[in-house]
Structure 1
Amino acid sequence: MLYRYTLILVVLFLISCTGKKERGNLRYSQEQIDSLCLDSTKELKADVSRIVSINLNPFLKEKSFDFSSHVQKVHFVPLATTDESLISDIYKIVLTDSMIYVFDDFKGGGIVIFNREGKFIRRIKHGEGPGELYRLNDISYDKENKELLAYQPPFLQFYTSTGNYLRQMRLPFGFYNFSVIPEGYMFKTFDSSGNEHLGSRRDNTLLITDKNFKLKCAGIRSSTTNICYGGYSYLYLNGAVTMITHNYNDTIYCYENKTGKFEAAYVMDYHDKKIPDEQLKSYLQMNRRDFFKALSQNNNYYFIGEYLENNTHQVFFLRNDYSGLQTVVYRDKKTEKLIGGTNADVSLTEIPAVAFPKTAYGDWFISVHYPNANDHLLLKSSILTKEDKQTILNLKEDDNPILVFYQLDDFFFFFKCRFFFLIICILLGVNIYMLIAFQQYKKNVTIQMESLLKGTDKLISFRTNMVADIENCNVRLKDIVVRDSLSNIRYLSDFFKHGQKEIILCRFSETNCESCINYSIRTLLQRSNVIGNDNMLFLGTYRNNKLFNRQKVFYGIDTLNTVNTAEFQLPAESFGYPYYVIVDSTLQVLKTFVPNKGTPLLDNECIDLICKRFFSLKDELL
């Protein structure tokens, strides 16, 4: 009898589980779908009659640009440091006239609230209770009702401006970003994934609803199923308008929040070195790993929707994974002049390195600055206020970051003064003959200087590697304990297999410049068929394994021998650049080499000689 009862209970359990699974597949109820009123939804067509083309072609190379001289005003807001307010990697910052909301990586997504002076208000708790966070996707602010909104699928959660929980509303569709607009919401998706119930509107990536999520209009169609790789935001609120971007789409749209007017405002022109559309489409059909690998092998540029603007200026961001560089271009809205490049020339005695902003508000751009040992140089600044210098004095290196608010001047201000411009034209006319006469002379001097600079780079590279060999050769490394990519504890010597005599270590750290790391790893991977994957070990130093694992995919080494360690005592660490070390099975250093991206031909010759000496003979014996 007991056996029968047991059998009945098992059968009922299996039926119950099956029923739950079937019901779980119905992501949205018919009532939710009906509430969208899809029959009355209008197509949002962009007006292209006033579109402005932004020529970014002059910036498609490694280029430095003068940034400090264009910074007109700076203001620091130090975010208070307490046990509760400690900030992880920052995804997004939302500002109001009185508050600062930081969306960070704490427990997969958290919200820290400060006032505009940086005083800590609260961190919203994590959990699955009412108002608690457990899988946060995005945040926004309702200026009219003074409410903070948080999106964690499938709900919008509402809080007071200081973070007290109010209510939640269930959403009838999925999305990536959202923004509050008068009498409704704006939602941005990647593609149709998860929104098949929208029918003919499923390919629209811009959705405009009322406060009850009735779908009023939809626009920006995308038929491509994109890999979820892009910026953290595609909606940029600027006063009465919202600027809208889309990954791998070079058009920037403008939506007037009150009138509903929608137009294509700008299109970026970088055709000289843009990834061809057909080639990019083929990349988007790949899996995530192959996608990143294809981008890293293509020396062209692409746009993933990263853009900012304040009342006076705009910022455009382009990426090139082959070089590992990000290009930033500022545009003055009044003069339409552009400045930008890959490296911002910043005087560290005047302002911090803030040329790549995180957000914008009013006339301000806002960047994040992490306290460091060089901050004392800012005490000499002529642009910082006494209050900001006192903030620098009070900082500790493990404190929360500072939000650096900065305003830019009008690029080429003298063009606004007609009289001054006329005087310049007269002076240019008087001196035109002298300029022509000296043109050839300047050209010859330039050629000679470039030749000297190239020779100087080679001398620096020779000197660096000579010092590296003298200081590091015959040093025996400690058999340190490390964690591999699977978090297994291993000794350094464990990476030598039976009969293996030497391996090459590629040493890098998150404090090194990203383009130097990318160059060093790519140069080594190009010789993997000679060296052998088992004979390479990539030894990084990052603050946590989550960040390290994300960078491994970006660098294309996630399938190779990789470890993240803070302990590595070798004189070469003082160089501050990535380097290679050849060690034998006793962990004795046989050779040290510091690659220099400024002398790739010299590097290739030296590395080929290293491969021939330590690895080619081994392959022949095998």
Structure 2
Amino acid sequence: MKKVLGIFIMLLFACTSRDKNEIPTLSVDLHSSDVSFEDLFSKIEIIPLETSDSCLLVDVEKIVHVDSLLYVFDSRRPALYVFDEKGAFVRQISRWGDGPGDHLLISDFMVDKNQQTIGLLSPNGYMGIYDLCGKFIRQDVLPAKPNYYAVASLSPDRWVFWSCVREDEDGITVVGKDSLNTVSGFGRNNRILDMGSLNPFYEYHDNVYFATAYQNTVYKLTEKGLYPVYCWDFGKDGINDEMLQKYRLIEKV
């Protein structure tokens, strides 16, 4: 739901002229109920996913639609399931285990359209690489970090990762796809605030955007840093600086 709403907002701002130095603010009344899905979208379709012993979903964490296929990540299994646009089960990518191509824990996945591969990210610092048919290719060891929670393809030769780390460490790491070396790092923030959303990346029109759970600014990501593109204003129902300061104090208690 958050991603669908984010796409609509980006389209809205793309059609609105503004000063290049001005960051647009989207004011939202959380108590308003006058807007329906039909007012926002021309088509709404419900796709029942096939249910069987081969694709019994427990806890769907993320869904990505690429080239007429639905990639559904179940964080409890953990595994990546592929369905067609009619909801028919196509294949499972990776299984629970410690053999080649297996995983004991998966925190995120991504479909790399540039390299025509699928990456399954382990929070322990490696990523299993598969072809689009689900065949295991290799396991990439990532630069040393306390954890890895989210991944996105930033460009044809760059991945970007997000980690929940201390305030004096870079939470965002840009890594070369071939070298597996760190290209750049940035995005320092309080980890108590970061833990509200363990997957802060959003991809739209070949760009990657970043937004945390408790802060209202949405950023565009490049390998050089974060660039604000718009912010939310929830009025009296929003989280203000005083509330954020109280959240920050939790870790010190």
Q: What band does the TM-score fall into relative to the shorter chain?
A: 0.7 to 0.9
SS of equivalent to 2:236: helix
CA distance in 1, matches of 2:226, 2:249: 31
1:132 to 90, 102, 106: 102
1:186 aligns with 2:197: no
For residues 55-90 of structure 1, give each alpha carbon's deviation from its aligned partner in whole angstroms, at most 9, with x where no partner exists: 22xx143x3223144241233433222211111121
SS of equivalent to 2:245: helix
Query: For residue 179 of structure 1, what is the amino acid of its counterpart?
Result: A
For residues 176-217 of structure 1, give each alpha carbon's deviation from its aligned partner in whole angstroms, at most 9, with x where no partner exists: 211012201011223338xxxxxxxx5322222211232222
Query: For residue 168 of structure 1, what is the amino acid of its counterpart?
Result: Q
Q: How far off is 1:228 after superposition? A: 6.1
CA distance in 2, matches of 1:215, 1:95: 29
| Map of 1:213 onto structure 2 | 180
CA distance in 2, matches of 1:221, 1:278: 19
Hey, which of these two has a bigger chunk of strand by percent? 2
Query: For residue 120 of structure 1, what is the amino acid of its counterpart?
Result: F
CA distance in 1, matches of 2:199, 2:76: 18
1:119 aligns with 2:78: no
1:157 aligns with 2:128: yes
- Pairing 1:209-288 to 2, within 5 Å after superposition: 209-211=175-177, 212-222=179-189, 224-226=190-192, 229-255=195-221, 263-286=227-250
CA distance in 2, matches of 1:85, 1:278: 46
For residues 223-253 of structure 1, give each alpha carbon's deviation from its aligned partner in whole angstroms, at most 9, with x where no partner exists: x231664235211111221111123221101
- Pairing 1:388-467 to 2, within 5 Å after superposition: none
SS of equivalent to 1:178: strand
CA 1:52–1:227 in structure 2 vs 1: closer, same or farther (change >3 Å)? Answer: closer
CA 1:94–1:282 in structure 2 vs 1: closer, same or farther (change >3 Å)? Answer: same
CA distance in 1, matches of 2:240, 2:170: 23
SS of equivalent to 1:77: coil
For structure 2, the 5+ residue unaligned runs are 1-19
CA 1:89–1:65 in structure 2 vs 1: closer, same or farther (change >3 Å)? Answer: farther
CA distance in 2, matches of 1:72, 1:162: 33
1:169 aligns with 2:135: no
Say if 2:72 and 2:80, in contact at 8 Å, map to a contact too. yes
- Pairing 1:545-564 to 2, within 5 Å after superposition: none
Say if 1:113 and 1:163, in contact at 8 Å, map to a contact too. no
| Map of 1:375 onto structure 2 | none
Say if 2:162 and 2:172, in contact at 8 Å, map to a contact too. yes
What RMSD, in angstroms, separates the aligned Cα atoms of the two structures?
2.6
Q: TM-score, normalised by structure 2?
A: 0.78
1:146 aligns with 2:120: no
Query: For residue 252 of structure 1, what is the amino acid of its counterpart?
Result: V
Q: How far off is 1:271 after superposition? A: 4.1
CA radius of gyration, larger in: 1
Q: How far off is 1:262 after superposition? A: 5.0
Query: For residue 129 of structure 1, what is the amino acid of its counterpart?
Result: G
For residues 394-438 of structure 1, give each alpha carbon's deviation from its aligned partner in whole angstroms, at most 9, with x where no partner exists: xxxxxxxxxxxxxxxxxxxxxxxxxxxxxxxxxxxxxxxxxxxxx
For residues 472-527 of structure 1, give each alpha carbon's deviation from its aligned partner in whole angstroms, at most 9, with x where no partner exists: xxxxxxxxxxxxxxxxxxxxxxxxxxxxxxxxxxxxxxxxxxxxxxxxxxxxxxxx
CA 1:242–1:76 in structure 2 vs 1: closer, same or farther (change >3 Å)? Answer: same
CA distance in 2, matches of 1:225, 1:69: 38
CA 1:72–1:249 in structure 2 vs 1: closer, same or farther (change >3 Å)? Answer: same
SS of equivalent to 1:279: helix
Q: How far off is 1:282 after superposition? A: 2.3
Query: For residue 186 of structure 1, what is the amino acid of its counterpart?
Result: V
CA distance in 2, matches of 1:117, 1:148: 22
CA distance in 1, matches of 2:74, 2:236: 37
Size of the aligned set, in residue pairs, is: 226
| Map of 1:78 onto structure 2 | 48
| Map of 1:53 onto structure 2 | 25
For residues 13-43 of structure 1, give each alpha carbon's deviation from its aligned partner in whole angstroms, at most 9, with x where no partner exists: xxxxxxxxxxxxxxxxxxxxxxxxxxxxxxx
Percent identity (aligned): 23
CA distance in 1, matches of 2:199, 2:134: 22
CA distance in 2, matches of 1:227, 1:251: 13
